[in-house]
Amino acid sequence: MKLKRLGHVAIRVQNMEQAVRFYQSLGLDLAWRDTDWAYLKAGSDGLALLGPDYKSAGAHFGFVFDDRQALGEHHDRLKSLGITAGAIHDHRDGTASFYGKDLDGNLFEFLYEPVSPQEG
C-alpha cells in the first residue's frame, strides 16, 4: 500500500483563462480543462487550478495511487487511525479520491490516477 508519488498541488485562481495561459507559458502542458478547474502537467507532476466557482475542494496537495483497491485500503487504514478522511468519490476525469486533513488542518487528497498507456 505504498504511495506512488506526491502528484499535484492545487491552488485557487481568480481568472481561469489567464491562469491557464500563464502556466502554459511557464512550460506546463494542459491535460484537462473544465469550466471551473484545469489540470496542467510537468512530466508526471501536476498543478490543479481551481476557479472561483469550484466548490469540491480548496487548495491542497495530492498523493497518487495507480491502483484503485490500494486507495480504498489506505482510506480504511487512515480512518482506523483516527485521521480525518472523507468519502471516496469518482471524478469526471476517470480518477477517484478522498480528502483529509493533517494535524494542522492542511487539506490533502489521496488520488487514484489510472495508468496511462504511455506509462504502462
CATH fourth-level superfamily of 5-112: 2,3-Dihydroxybiphenyl 1,2-Dioxygenase, domain 1 (3.10.180.10)
Q: What percent of the chain has pLDDT over 70?
A: 94
Distance, CA of 20 to CA of 71 (rounded, Å):
29
Does the structure show a pLDDT above 70 at 1?
Answer: no
pTM, whole model, 2 decimals? 0.77
Nearest to 16 by CA among 49, 46, 58: 49
Q: What is the pLDDT of residue 8?
A: 93
Radius of gyration of the chain measured on its C-alpha atoms: 14
Specify the pLDDT at position 5: 85
Residue 119 has pLDDT above 60, yes or no: no
| pLDDT one-digit tens code per residue, 25-78 | 999 999 989 999 999 999 989 999 999 999 988 899 999 988 899 899 999 999
Q: Identify the pLDDT of residue 118.
A: 56
* Per-residue confidence (pLDDT) for residue 48, from 0 to 100: 95
In which region does residue 18 sit, left (phi positive, over 0), alpha (psi from -120 to 50) or beta (all else)? Answer: alpha
pLDDT of residue 71: 92
